[in-house]
Amino acid sequence: MTITAEFFKGYENTNDPEMDFRRREREKVNFYKSGKIRAVYLNEQTDIETDYGRIPAEFITFYEDGSIKRIFPRYGKIGAFWSEKNEAEITEYLDLKVGKTIYRSRPQCLYFYPDGKLKSITIYNSDTLIIRTKYGDIKTNIGVSFYRSGKIRSIEPAFKTEIEYKGKKIRPFNFFADGMHADNNSLVFDEEGYILSYI
């Protein structure tokens, strides 16, 4: 995608009233040392064309080659007067077809491989997403990551999730996962859907 001056036109006079108090104090554009654009904080939510259709974005990061790395549909300042739950409530539900499965969620962040394939979906922890696996349906309130093929690479299960694995019950859970991206989760699968490792 090409960044143009239109993205910043009327930056301080946005039509989105929530952004007046939600806007984070950060630069509008951030660059790599090479001069290539690293991140753009958009004037207002703008639809971005991807392999998964149009995705609304307030903040976008890029790989150095110019391909999209992350899209944040909403990127407001979380604080005493604006909670993550408030942010989730103004985020649209998206139906994203990854591999053969459609994932319906309100994404906090979408992470892409340089070739445009979806690498992970991070959701708000007030939401849940049910992921179907060989070990049954697994609920997450953090998110899921994928191989380039679209098959599940890892899941961050909700607290107290029990899974039957090799004749015993396991409870994969990363205590430090709350507030993090769902890029590297505590329950990891191979491309055939079998558990490779867990925390």
Residue 166 maps to a domain: no
Its pTM stands at: 0.87
Residue 108 maps to a domain: no
Residue 184 maps to a domain: no
Which residues partner with 60 through β-bridges? 40, 71
Residue 140 maps to a domain: no
Confidence check: pLDDT of 178 > 90: no
| Residue span of the structural domain in which 49 resides | 1-92
Residue 85 maps to a domain: yes
Residue 196 maps to a domain: no
Distance CA 142, CA 181 (A): 7
How does strand 163-165 pair with strand 168-170? antiparallel
Task: Give phi and psi for 88, each to the nearest 5.
Answer: -65, -40
Angle, CA of 74, 3 and 17, to the nearest 5°: 35
Residue 149 confidence class, pLDDT cut points 50, 70, 90: very high
pLDDT tens for 85-128 read 999 999 999 999 999 999 999 999 999 999 999 999 999 989 99
pLDDT of residue 11: 45
- If one counts the domains in the chain, the total is 1
Residue 105 maps to a domain: no
Helix spans in the chain (H): 19-22, 84-89
